[in-house]
Amino acid sequence: MKQKLIRTKVTVRLRKSEYRKEWYIYLESYPVIVPGKEEVQRIREYLNRTVTTVEFDKKRVAKRTENSISFKPKRDDNGVIICKSDLDKETMFYADSVRKIRQREYDKKNIYNEVDLLQETMNEKRQENFVDYFKSLIKRRHKNSSDSIKVNWERTLEFLKSYGDDFIPFGKIDMKFCENYKTFLLSAPLGGNKKGTLSQNSAATYFSIFKAALKQAFIDDYFLTDISAKLKGISEIESRREYLTIDELNTLVETPCDYEVLKRAALFSALTGLRLSDIQKLKWEEISMENDAPRIHFTQQKTKGVEYMPISAQALQLCGKRKSSTTLVFSGLPDSAWISRPLKKWITSAGITKKITFHNFRHTFATLQLSSGTDIYTVSKMLGHTNVRTTQVYAKVVDEKKNQAAEAIQLKTLKN
Protein backbone atom coordinates (compact mmCIF):
# COMPACT_ATOMS: atom_id res chain seq x y z
CA MET A 1 0.00 0.00 0.00
CA LYS A 2 1.36 3.42 -0.96
CA GLN A 3 2.36 5.85 1.75
CA LYS A 4 0.19 8.91 1.96
CA LEU A 5 2.04 12.07 0.99
CA ILE A 6 1.54 14.67 3.74
CA ARG A 7 2.68 18.15 4.72
CA THR A 8 2.76 18.41 8.51
CA LYS A 9 2.47 21.92 9.95
CA VAL A 10 3.49 22.81 13.50
CA THR A 11 1.70 25.77 15.16
CA VAL A 12 1.97 27.42 18.57
CA ARG A 13 -1.43 27.34 20.32
CA LEU A 14 -2.89 28.62 23.62
CA ARG A 15 -5.32 26.99 26.04
CA LYS A 16 -7.08 29.06 28.73
CA SER A 17 -6.59 27.95 32.34
CA GLU A 18 -9.85 27.08 34.06
CA TYR A 19 -8.88 28.69 37.38
CA ARG A 20 -6.52 31.54 36.59
CA LYS A 21 -6.25 34.29 34.01
CA GLU A 22 -3.40 32.65 32.16
CA TRP A 23 -2.90 30.56 29.06
CA TYR A 24 -0.98 27.32 28.68
CA ILE A 25 1.31 27.13 25.63
CA TYR A 26 1.41 24.02 23.47
CA LEU A 27 2.48 22.95 19.97
CA GLU A 28 -0.08 21.45 17.61
CA SER A 29 1.19 19.28 14.73
CA TYR A 30 -1.21 18.28 11.95
CA PRO A 31 -1.58 16.10 9.95
CA VAL A 32 0.68 13.40 11.41
CA ILE A 33 0.80 9.76 10.35
CA VAL A 34 1.06 7.50 13.38
CA PRO A 35 1.88 3.79 12.90
CA GLY A 36 -1.15 1.65 13.64
CA LYS A 37 -3.59 4.51 13.04
CA GLU A 38 -5.64 4.56 9.84
CA GLU A 39 -6.47 8.28 10.03
CA VAL A 40 -3.99 11.13 10.29
CA GLN A 41 -3.57 12.42 13.83
CA ARG A 42 -3.41 15.83 15.55
CA ILE A 43 -0.52 15.83 18.03
CA ARG A 44 -0.35 18.29 20.96
CA GLU A 45 2.87 18.93 22.92
CA TYR A 46 2.65 21.15 26.02
CA LEU A 47 5.74 23.25 26.77
CA ASN A 48 5.17 23.76 30.54
CA ARG A 49 4.97 27.51 29.98
CA THR A 50 2.19 30.03 30.56
CA VAL A 51 1.55 33.66 29.61
CA THR A 52 -0.86 36.23 30.99
CA THR A 53 -0.64 39.32 28.76
CA VAL A 54 -1.76 37.96 25.38
CA GLU A 55 -3.21 40.44 22.88
CA PHE A 56 -6.35 39.12 21.21
CA ASP A 57 -7.85 40.09 17.84
CA LYS A 58 -11.44 41.12 18.51
CA LYS A 59 -12.26 40.68 14.83
CA ARG A 60 -11.33 36.98 14.72
CA VAL A 61 -13.59 34.68 16.74
CA ALA A 62 -12.00 31.46 17.95
CA LYS A 63 -14.97 29.93 19.79
CA ARG A 64 -18.51 31.02 20.56
CA THR A 65 -20.86 29.50 23.15
CA GLU A 66 -24.14 30.59 24.74
CA ASN A 67 -22.36 32.15 27.70
CA SER A 68 -19.00 33.21 26.30
CA ILE A 69 -16.93 34.13 23.31
CA SER A 70 -13.18 33.80 22.76
CA PHE A 71 -10.92 35.36 20.17
CA LYS A 72 -7.79 34.32 18.33
CA PRO A 73 -4.49 35.80 19.51
CA LYS A 74 -2.74 38.43 17.43
CA ARG A 75 0.44 37.35 15.66
CA ASP A 76 3.29 39.35 14.19
CA ASP A 77 4.57 39.02 10.61
CA ASN A 78 6.59 35.93 11.62
CA GLY A 79 3.57 34.22 13.14
CA VAL A 80 4.69 34.73 16.77
CA ILE A 81 1.87 35.41 19.26
CA ILE A 82 1.98 39.01 20.54
CA CYS A 83 2.10 39.69 24.25
CA LYS A 84 2.36 42.92 26.27
CA SER A 85 4.91 42.05 28.95
CA ASP A 86 8.59 41.48 28.14
CA LEU A 87 8.58 38.21 30.09
CA ASP A 88 5.66 36.84 28.05
CA LYS A 89 7.31 38.04 24.84
CA GLU A 90 10.44 36.01 25.68
CA THR A 91 8.25 33.01 26.49
CA MET A 92 6.54 33.24 23.09
CA PHE A 93 9.90 33.51 21.30
CA TYR A 94 11.00 30.39 23.17
CA ALA A 95 7.81 28.59 22.06
CA ASP A 96 8.41 29.63 18.47
CA SER A 97 12.00 28.33 18.64
CA VAL A 98 10.73 24.93 19.77
CA ARG A 99 8.13 25.06 17.00
CA LYS A 100 10.87 25.59 14.41
CA ILE A 101 12.79 22.58 15.70
CA ARG A 102 9.70 20.36 15.51
CA GLN A 103 8.85 21.70 12.04
CA ARG A 104 12.31 20.80 10.75
CA GLU A 105 11.95 17.31 12.21
CA TYR A 106 8.64 16.77 10.42
CA ASP A 107 9.94 18.30 7.19
CA LYS A 108 12.92 15.97 7.22
CA LYS A 109 10.65 13.02 7.88
CA ASN A 110 8.31 14.11 5.05
CA ILE A 111 11.24 14.37 2.66
CA TYR A 112 12.21 10.80 3.41
CA ASN A 113 8.60 9.75 2.95
CA GLU A 114 8.51 11.50 -0.44
CA VAL A 115 11.72 9.79 -1.55
CA ASP A 116 10.30 6.43 -0.49
CA LEU A 117 7.05 7.22 -2.31
CA LEU A 118 8.92 8.29 -5.45
CA GLN A 119 11.00 5.12 -5.36
CA GLU A 120 7.88 3.00 -4.92
CA THR A 121 6.14 4.81 -7.79
CA MET A 122 9.19 4.36 -10.04
CA ASN A 123 9.34 0.65 -9.19
CA GLU A 124 5.72 0.31 -10.25
CA LYS A 125 6.32 2.23 -13.48
CA ARG A 126 9.36 0.09 -14.28
CA GLN A 127 7.00 -2.89 -14.50
CA GLU A 128 4.64 -1.18 -16.98
CA ASN A 129 4.71 -2.13 -20.66
CA PHE A 130 6.60 0.27 -22.96
CA VAL A 131 4.80 -1.26 -25.98
CA ASP A 132 1.40 -0.23 -24.57
CA TYR A 133 2.79 3.20 -23.73
CA PHE A 134 4.07 3.56 -27.32
CA LYS A 135 0.60 2.67 -28.67
CA SER A 136 -0.98 5.29 -26.43
CA LEU A 137 1.52 7.87 -27.72
CA ILE A 138 0.41 7.24 -31.31
CA LYS A 139 -3.20 7.94 -30.34
CA ARG A 140 -2.34 10.88 -28.11
CA ARG A 141 0.23 12.71 -30.22
CA HIS A 142 -0.81 11.80 -33.74
CA LYS A 143 -4.58 11.67 -33.65
CA ASN A 144 -4.77 14.36 -36.33
CA SER A 145 -1.41 13.74 -38.03
CA SER A 146 -0.99 12.68 -41.63
CA ASP A 147 -1.21 9.02 -42.64
CA SER A 148 2.52 8.94 -43.45
CA ILE A 149 3.45 10.02 -39.91
CA LYS A 150 1.11 7.47 -38.35
CA VAL A 151 2.48 4.72 -40.60
CA ASN A 152 6.06 5.52 -39.58
CA TRP A 153 5.15 5.35 -35.88
CA GLU A 154 3.26 2.09 -36.37
CA ARG A 155 6.17 0.63 -38.36
CA THR A 156 8.55 1.67 -35.58
CA LEU A 157 6.33 -0.17 -33.10
CA GLU A 158 6.33 -3.32 -35.25
CA PHE A 159 10.13 -3.34 -35.44
CA LEU A 160 10.32 -2.72 -31.70
CA LYS A 161 8.14 -5.75 -31.04
CA SER A 162 10.19 -7.81 -33.51
CA TYR A 163 13.35 -6.89 -31.62
CA GLY A 164 11.91 -7.24 -28.13
CA ASP A 165 8.44 -8.61 -27.53
CA ASP A 166 4.81 -7.58 -27.10
CA PHE A 167 5.74 -6.90 -23.47
CA ILE A 168 8.83 -4.76 -22.84
CA PRO A 169 8.90 -3.42 -19.26
CA PHE A 170 10.32 0.07 -18.80
CA GLY A 171 12.84 -1.41 -16.37
CA LYS A 172 14.41 -3.33 -19.26
CA ILE A 173 15.10 -0.22 -21.31
CA ASP A 174 18.60 1.11 -20.75
CA MET A 175 21.48 2.30 -22.95
CA LYS A 176 22.46 -1.25 -23.85
CA PHE A 177 18.91 -2.12 -24.91
CA CYS A 178 18.70 1.00 -27.07
CA GLU A 179 22.07 0.52 -28.73
CA ASN A 180 21.23 -3.10 -29.51
CA TYR A 181 17.89 -1.98 -30.99
CA LYS A 182 19.77 0.49 -33.20
CA THR A 183 22.01 -2.33 -34.46
CA PHE A 184 18.93 -4.47 -35.08
CA LEU A 185 17.30 -1.77 -37.23
CA LEU A 186 20.37 -1.44 -39.42
CA SER A 187 19.95 -5.04 -40.57
CA ALA A 188 16.23 -5.65 -39.94
CA PRO A 189 14.26 -7.53 -42.65
CA LEU A 190 11.62 -5.55 -44.51
CA GLY A 191 8.86 -7.93 -43.43
CA GLY A 192 5.71 -9.09 -45.17
CA ASN A 193 6.30 -10.43 -48.66
CA LYS A 194 9.19 -8.05 -49.27
CA LYS A 195 12.75 -9.32 -49.42
CA GLY A 196 15.85 -7.50 -48.27
CA THR A 197 16.63 -5.29 -45.30
CA LEU A 198 15.74 -1.79 -44.21
CA SER A 199 17.57 1.06 -45.87
CA GLN A 200 19.77 3.13 -43.58
CA ASN A 201 17.50 6.14 -44.05
CA SER A 202 14.42 4.15 -43.01
CA ALA A 203 16.31 2.80 -40.00
CA ALA A 204 17.28 6.39 -39.12
CA THR A 205 13.63 7.48 -39.28
CA TYR A 206 12.37 4.63 -37.08
CA PHE A 207 15.15 5.10 -34.53
CA SER A 208 14.46 8.85 -34.27
CA ILE A 209 10.80 8.02 -33.56
CA PHE A 210 11.92 5.54 -30.90
CA LYS A 211 14.03 8.32 -29.34
CA ALA A 212 11.04 10.68 -29.41
CA ALA A 213 9.01 8.10 -27.48
CA LEU A 214 11.80 7.75 -24.91
CA LYS A 215 11.91 11.53 -24.54
CA GLN A 216 8.18 11.69 -23.85
CA ALA A 217 8.46 8.81 -21.38
CA PHE A 218 11.11 10.80 -19.49
CA ILE A 219 8.76 13.81 -19.42
CA ASP A 220 5.99 11.53 -18.14
CA ASP A 221 8.28 10.35 -15.28
CA TYR A 222 8.88 6.79 -16.50
CA PHE A 223 12.65 7.38 -16.43
CA LEU A 224 14.76 9.24 -13.88
CA THR A 225 17.26 10.23 -16.59
CA ASP A 226 16.74 11.32 -20.20
CA ILE A 227 18.04 8.29 -22.08
CA SER A 228 17.12 9.81 -25.45
CA ALA A 229 19.56 12.71 -24.90
CA LYS A 230 22.43 10.26 -24.52
CA LEU A 231 21.60 8.23 -27.63
CA LYS A 232 23.26 9.07 -30.91
CA GLY A 233 20.90 8.74 -33.86
CA ILE A 234 21.51 6.83 -37.07
CA SER A 235 23.02 9.09 -39.71
CA GLU A 236 21.09 9.36 -42.97
CA ILE A 237 22.64 8.73 -46.36
CA GLU A 238 21.84 11.49 -48.81
CA SER A 239 19.73 9.81 -51.47
CA ARG A 240 19.46 10.89 -55.08
CA ARG A 241 16.26 12.82 -55.76
CA GLU A 242 15.20 11.58 -59.20
CA TYR A 243 13.41 14.08 -61.41
CA LEU A 244 12.10 14.51 -64.94
CA THR A 245 13.37 16.97 -67.51
CA ILE A 246 11.12 19.34 -69.46
CA ASP A 247 11.46 17.12 -72.53
CA GLU A 248 10.45 14.04 -70.51
CA LEU A 249 7.43 15.88 -69.10
CA ASN A 250 6.35 16.89 -72.59
CA THR A 251 6.73 13.28 -73.71
CA LEU A 252 4.45 12.22 -70.87
CA VAL A 253 1.90 14.84 -71.95
CA GLU A 254 1.73 13.15 -75.35
CA THR A 255 1.69 9.60 -73.93
CA PRO A 256 -1.72 8.03 -73.13
CA CYS A 257 -2.33 6.73 -69.60
CA ASP A 258 -4.87 4.09 -68.58
CA TYR A 259 -6.02 6.45 -65.82
CA GLU A 260 -6.53 9.93 -67.23
CA VAL A 261 -7.03 11.37 -63.75
CA LEU A 262 -3.66 9.93 -62.69
CA LYS A 263 -1.96 11.59 -65.66
CA ARG A 264 -3.55 14.96 -64.86
CA ALA A 265 -2.69 14.68 -61.15
CA ALA A 266 0.95 13.73 -61.82
CA LEU A 267 1.47 16.63 -64.26
CA PHE A 268 -0.33 18.93 -61.79
CA SER A 269 2.21 17.89 -59.12
CA ALA A 270 5.06 18.68 -61.50
CA LEU A 271 3.62 22.17 -62.08
CA THR A 272 2.76 22.96 -58.43
CA GLY A 273 4.95 20.76 -56.21
CA LEU A 274 1.95 19.40 -54.30
CA ARG A 275 2.19 16.03 -52.61
CA LEU A 276 -0.09 13.16 -53.61
CA SER A 277 -1.90 13.34 -50.25
CA ASP A 278 -2.73 17.02 -50.84
CA ILE A 279 -3.84 16.46 -54.43
CA GLN A 280 -6.13 13.60 -53.39
CA LYS A 281 -7.97 15.86 -50.93
CA LEU A 282 -7.96 19.07 -52.99
CA LYS A 283 -11.47 20.50 -53.41
CA TRP A 284 -12.76 23.11 -55.84
CA GLU A 285 -13.50 25.50 -52.99
CA GLU A 286 -9.74 25.65 -52.37
CA ILE A 287 -9.08 27.01 -55.87
CA SER A 288 -9.87 30.67 -56.49
CA MET A 289 -9.16 33.43 -59.00
CA GLU A 290 -7.58 36.72 -57.94
CA ASN A 291 -6.88 39.36 -60.59
CA ASP A 292 -7.33 36.68 -63.25
CA ALA A 293 -4.62 34.57 -61.58
CA PRO A 294 -5.50 31.13 -60.13
CA ARG A 295 -4.55 30.39 -56.53
CA ILE A 296 -4.96 27.48 -54.15
CA HIS A 297 -5.62 27.77 -50.42
CA PHE A 298 -5.34 24.47 -48.55
CA THR A 299 -3.98 22.71 -45.47
CA GLN A 300 -1.06 20.34 -45.99
CA GLN A 301 -1.90 16.79 -44.93
CA LYS A 302 1.66 16.09 -43.76
CA THR A 303 2.60 19.23 -41.84
CA LYS A 304 -0.91 20.65 -41.21
CA GLY A 305 0.47 23.99 -42.41
CA VAL A 306 -1.95 26.32 -44.21
CA GLU A 307 -0.71 27.13 -47.71
CA TYR A 308 -1.78 29.98 -49.97
CA MET A 309 0.01 29.95 -53.30
CA PRO A 310 -0.46 30.85 -56.96
CA ILE A 311 -0.56 28.20 -59.68
CA SER A 312 -0.06 28.50 -63.43
CA ALA A 313 -2.83 28.61 -66.02
CA GLN A 314 -1.64 25.20 -67.29
CA ALA A 315 -1.96 23.74 -63.78
CA LEU A 316 -5.52 25.08 -63.59
CA GLN A 317 -6.27 23.56 -66.99
CA LEU A 318 -5.21 20.14 -65.68
CA CYS A 319 -7.89 20.44 -62.97
CA GLY A 320 -10.62 20.13 -65.63
CA LYS A 321 -14.06 21.73 -65.67
CA ARG A 322 -15.01 23.47 -62.42
CA LYS A 323 -17.60 21.68 -60.28
CA SER A 324 -19.34 22.29 -56.95
CA SER A 325 -17.20 23.66 -54.13
CA THR A 326 -17.06 20.47 -52.06
CA THR A 327 -16.26 18.18 -55.01
CA LEU A 328 -12.76 16.73 -55.22
CA VAL A 329 -10.75 18.26 -58.09
CA PHE A 330 -9.14 14.94 -58.95
CA SER A 331 -12.08 12.71 -58.13
CA GLY A 332 -11.41 9.03 -58.79
CA LEU A 333 -7.65 9.26 -58.25
CA PRO A 334 -6.47 5.79 -57.13
CA ASP A 335 -5.26 5.27 -53.61
CA SER A 336 -1.50 5.57 -53.10
CA ALA A 337 -1.23 1.79 -52.70
CA TRP A 338 -2.69 1.26 -56.21
CA ILE A 339 -0.93 4.05 -58.09
CA SER A 340 2.48 2.43 -58.60
CA ARG A 341 1.51 -0.09 -61.29
CA PRO A 342 -0.45 2.20 -63.68
CA LEU A 343 2.12 4.96 -63.12
CA LYS A 344 4.99 2.64 -64.02
CA LYS A 345 3.16 1.48 -67.14
CA TRP A 346 2.62 5.08 -68.26
CA ILE A 347 6.27 6.04 -67.61
CA THR A 348 7.53 2.98 -69.49
CA SER A 349 5.20 3.67 -72.43
CA ALA A 350 6.79 7.11 -72.71
CA GLY A 351 10.19 5.48 -73.11
CA ILE A 352 11.49 6.84 -69.80
CA THR A 353 13.83 4.42 -68.03
CA LYS A 354 14.20 6.36 -64.79
CA LYS A 355 12.66 4.88 -61.65
CA ILE A 356 9.84 7.36 -61.13
CA THR A 357 7.28 7.40 -58.32
CA PHE A 358 4.47 9.91 -57.91
CA HIS A 359 6.58 11.83 -55.39
CA ASN A 360 9.25 12.35 -58.06
CA PHE A 361 6.90 14.79 -59.80
CA ARG A 362 7.21 16.98 -56.68
CA HIS A 363 11.00 16.62 -56.95
CA THR A 364 10.70 17.61 -60.59
CA PHE A 365 8.91 20.82 -59.69
CA ALA A 366 11.59 21.79 -57.15
CA THR A 367 14.53 20.96 -59.40
CA LEU A 368 13.15 22.71 -62.50
CA GLN A 369 12.22 25.81 -60.48
CA LEU A 370 15.75 26.13 -59.10
CA SER A 371 17.25 25.38 -62.53
CA SER A 372 15.20 28.19 -64.07
CA GLY A 373 16.55 30.68 -61.56
CA THR A 374 13.85 30.80 -58.87
CA ASP A 375 15.54 31.50 -55.52
CA ILE A 376 15.66 28.72 -52.98
CA TYR A 377 13.58 30.59 -50.38
CA THR A 378 10.69 31.04 -52.80
CA VAL A 379 10.86 27.37 -53.82
CA SER A 380 10.95 26.39 -50.14
CA LYS A 381 7.76 28.35 -49.50
CA MET A 382 6.04 26.90 -52.57
CA LEU A 383 6.90 23.39 -51.42
CA GLY A 384 5.57 24.15 -47.95
CA HIS A 385 8.87 23.29 -46.25
CA THR A 386 9.13 24.54 -42.68
CA ASN A 387 12.92 24.80 -42.99
CA VAL A 388 14.89 25.93 -46.04
CA ARG A 389 17.52 23.27 -45.30
CA THR A 390 15.03 20.67 -46.50
CA THR A 391 15.00 22.42 -49.88
CA GLN A 392 18.79 22.61 -50.16
CA VAL A 393 19.01 18.98 -51.29
CA TYR A 394 17.46 20.06 -54.60
CA ALA A 395 20.02 22.83 -54.95
CA LYS A 396 22.76 20.18 -54.93
CA VAL A 397 21.13 18.52 -57.94
CA VAL A 398 21.14 21.88 -59.74
CA ASP A 399 24.82 22.43 -58.85
CA GLU A 400 25.58 19.01 -60.31
CA LYS A 401 23.87 20.05 -63.54
CA LYS A 402 25.93 23.25 -63.60
CA ASN A 403 29.14 21.26 -63.19
CA GLN A 404 28.12 19.04 -66.09
CA ALA A 405 27.31 22.11 -68.17
CA ALA A 406 30.70 23.61 -67.42
CA GLU A 407 32.35 20.55 -69.00
CA ALA A 408 30.01 20.46 -71.99
CA ILE A 409 32.14 22.75 -74.14
CA GLN A 410 35.55 21.28 -74.81
CA LEU A 411 38.25 22.90 -76.94
CA LYS A 412 41.24 21.23 -78.46
CA THR A 413 44.32 21.56 -76.35
CA LEU A 414 45.86 24.89 -77.15
CA LYS A 415 49.49 24.83 -78.20
CA ASN A 416 51.97 27.54 -77.30
pLDDT at 288 over 50: yes
The widest CA-to-CA distance across the chain, in whole angstroms, is: 130
Q: DSSP for 279-315?
A: HHH-BGGGEEEETTEEEEEEE-TTT--EEEEE--HHH
Phi-psi region of 273 (alpha: psi -120 to 50; beta: other; left: phi over 0): left
Q: Which residue has the higher pLDDT, 401 or 198?
A: 198
CA distance linking residue 337 with residue 389, whole number of Å:
29
CA distances in angstroms from 311 to 29, 67, 273, 319, 329, listed in the order given: 75, 90, 10, 11, 14
pLDDT at 4 over 60: no
CATH architecture classification, 246-406: Orthogonal Bundle (1.10)
| Domains in the chain: boundaries | 9-126, 130-230, 246-406
Q: How confident is the model at residue 409 (pLDDT cuts 50, 70, 90)?
A: low
Amino acid 394: pLDDT = 63
What confidence tens digit (pLDDT) does each residue in 6-27 have?
Answer: 789 999 999 999 889 999 999 9
Amino acid 301: pLDDT = 56
Q: How confident is the model at residue 165 (pLDDT cuts 50, 70, 90)?
A: confident
CA distances in angstroms from 125 to 53, 119, 228, 280, 360, listed in the order given: 57, 10, 18, 43, 46
Contacts of 273 (CB under 8 A, 6+ apart): 362, 365, 366, 369, 382, 383, 384
Within this chain, domains 130-230 and 246-406 share the same CATH topology? no
CATH of domain 130-230: 1.10.150
Amino acid 274: pLDDT = 87
What confidence tens digit (pLDDT) does each residue in 100-151 have?
Answer: 999 988 887 776 666 666 666 677 888 899 999 999 998 888 776 767 788 8
pLDDT at 186 over 70: yes
Q: Considering the entire predicted model, what is its pTM?
A: 0.49
